[in-house]
Amino acid sequence: VMMAGGFLFLLYMGWVTWNSRPKENQTEKNRFTAKKQAAFAAAVSLLNPHAILDTIGVIGTSSLQYSGLEKWLFMAGCIAVSWIWFISLAIAGRLFQSIDTSGRLMLIVNKCSAVVMWAAAGYFGALLFSN
């Protein structure tokens, strides 16, 4: 069920990303409020079957080899890396926005992202339908 959910999720997100059109010189009025942006990020993170599989299947099973203090340090390391990664993405997004005022470069990035999502969906689909 999780594999099928991940397959459908990636197909849909690829389609949405492929069809998204960045706006030129987006004004402050057109941007999400902080509350809407946080709600969107939480929904995408919590409803993403691939992220759930990674959390349980990769991080969860990797943590089984640790006990006591080592398990707490592993948890702290996972949290720190996650925060560093997402803060870095936010900073990179802000810098990218200031560099690409026309939106053309973002359009190319969106197309490449959609292709990567569809490739991952294809991989999930091949695994799902080969059994």
Find the mean pLDDT for residues 47-75.
87
Contact 32, 40 (CB under 8 A): yes
Q: What is the mean pLDDT of the chain?
A: 85
**Which two three-digit tokens encode residue 94?**
């802000």
Q: Within 10 Å of residue 106's Cβ, how many Cβ atoms?
A: 19
Give residue 19's pLDDT. Answer: 93
Q: CA angle 16-21-22, nearest 5°?
A: 120
**pLDDT, greater one: 114 or 56:** 114
Parse the chain into domains and list their residue ranges.
Answer: 2-20+48-130
Short-list 44, 50, 39, 64, CA closest to 4:
50
Q: How far apart are the first and last CA of the chain?
A: 13
pLDDT per residue over 35-49, tens digit each? 887 888 787 777 777
Give residue 105's pLDDT. Answer: 87
Q: Confidence class of residue 111 from pLDDT cuts 50, 70 and 90? A: very high
Q: Is the pLDDT of residue 28 over 70?
A: no
Find the mean pLDDT for residues 57-84.
92
